[in-house]
Amino acid sequence: MPEDYYKVLGVTKSDSQEDIRKAFRRKAMDYHPDRNKSADAPEKFKEINEAYQVLSDSQKRAQYDQFGHAGVNGGRNTGSPFEGFETFGGFGDIFDSFFGGSSRRTGNQATRGDDIYTSINLTFEEAVFGIEKTLQIARIESCDNCKGTRAEPGTSPTKCTSCNGSGQVRRSQQSVFGQFTQVVGCSSCEATGQIVSSPCKECAGVGLNRANRSTSIEIPQGIENGMQVRLTGWGNHGKNGGPAGNLYVETIVEDHAIFIRRKFDLIYELTLNMAEAAIGTEILIPTLEGKDHPLKIPSGTQPGDILSVKSKGVPHLRGNGRGDIKVIADVQTPVKLSKYQRDLLEELNKSLKGESPDNLSDNKSNDNNLINKIKDVLS
């Protein structure tokens, strides 16, 4: 019996879809084979993906909560309110047939393959500028040996004579409501409509096999942490010629050492001393390209003021243009001062108050020279 999906992700039935998504991201980072080299990491990662595939889908989650693993792995059609009662002697079938419904698909119908969910780790720069990555996945594919026919090469399935190839038979049944006819899956051919006398040895007559595949995935510029990239048709193969599902790859983006991302802008905290903030200066601001960009700091800059380096942020996801680098001024007051630094600040304090014997406050040139001296000794 597979482990409880809620336990696999470390969540409870009362947790929200967002809680489940966050739990999946944490678990995926812990057990991703690229990050975790322990022997059981690939199997754990597979369990985590399987659990997330069910619990992230509201319909599948409801089925799982009601019927457990059988509710999501049995391939039933959940459109009927009496679905899930097959184990009680066909109770669901009786009600479905009485009211004109049908709770079973025939085995020979084309069925779309399941979607696959996985994740990929990206550096901050890879997410910002985009990159092509190679991804390893395990998926269900049509058997190469029998090409999905389920029969050993050189042989062919034959039409089931019990159901005439339809995969269904009609059965009369007596109930408290009277006698009625019920359509059920043919037991002779397991509702496939075909008899396979010589099952394929590679897939044991299933028509599908598990395979490990490698594919390239294009990560678009500007993608954010937690976004998904879809690869159409890269999910599990369908049955009886049904289309393949899709592959959904969630991005897990590393933090940057100095920048914080806010949509398409980058936040950068710039440390200034009090003299630089007072008289202004020009500072080189780092960029993601690795080349510093000059930024003029105006005189009188206050703590928390925001300046911008235009078009050096994150490229827009689907379109032209880039965000900005938002530079937040962090004006710091010195904690330890030499005697010379203290004397300069005391002289400036008197000047700003107009208490200087030389009335320096009326002489802006002298005041600026004094502040420049302070800037030099604080730098």
| Residue 17 Cα distances to 132, 181, 230, 267, 350, angstroms | 30, 43, 20, 29, 62
Q: How far, in whole angstroms, is CA 359 from its chain's centroid?
A: 65
Beta strands in the chain (DSSP E): 116-122, 131-142, 158-159, 168-175, 178-185, 194-195, 208-219, 228-231, 247-253, 260-262, 265-273, 281-285, 293-297, 306-309, 325-332
**DSSP helix/strand/coil, 189:** coil
**Structural Rg of the chain based on CA atoms:** 34
pLDDT score, position 101: 42
What per-residue confidence (pLDDT) applies to 84?
A: 38
- Helices marked H in 192-286 — which ranges? 274-279
The pLDDT of residue 283 is: 95
- pTM equals 0.61
Average pLDDT per run of 10 along the chain, which is 379 residues long? 83 88 86 79 85 85 77 48 37 40 55 91 95 93 88 90 86 64 80 86 87 94 93 90 92 95 96 91 95 95 96 89 96 86 82 61 54 62
- Which two three-digit tokens encode residue 74? 């049995």
Q: Locate 150 and state its tokens.
A: 């389920």
Q: Which of 166, 181, 189, 188 is nearest to 93 (CA)?
A: 181
Report phi then psi at 24, rounded to 5: -60, -45
**DSSP assignment string, 56-69:** TSHHHHHHHHHHTH
CA distance 109 to 191: 9
Tokens of 113: 């393959």
Quickly tell me which residue has 């010195």 as its tokens: 334
pLDDT given for residue 357 in this prediction: 43
Helices within the chain (DSSP H only):
5-9, 17-31, 41-55, 58-67, 69-73, 91-98, 124-129, 274-279, 339-353, 364-378
In the chain, where are the structural domains located?
A: 257-333, 334-379
Q: Which CATH class is domain 257-333?
A: mainly beta
Instruction: Give the CA dihedral 193, 198, 203, 208, nearest 10 degrees.
Output: -30
Quote the pLDDT of residue 87: 35
- Tokens representing 149? 């026919």
How far is Cα 5 from Cα 117, in angstroms, rounded to an integer? 15
The predicted structure's pLDDT at residue 98: 41
Closest among 302, 277, 378 to 335, alpha carbons compared: 378
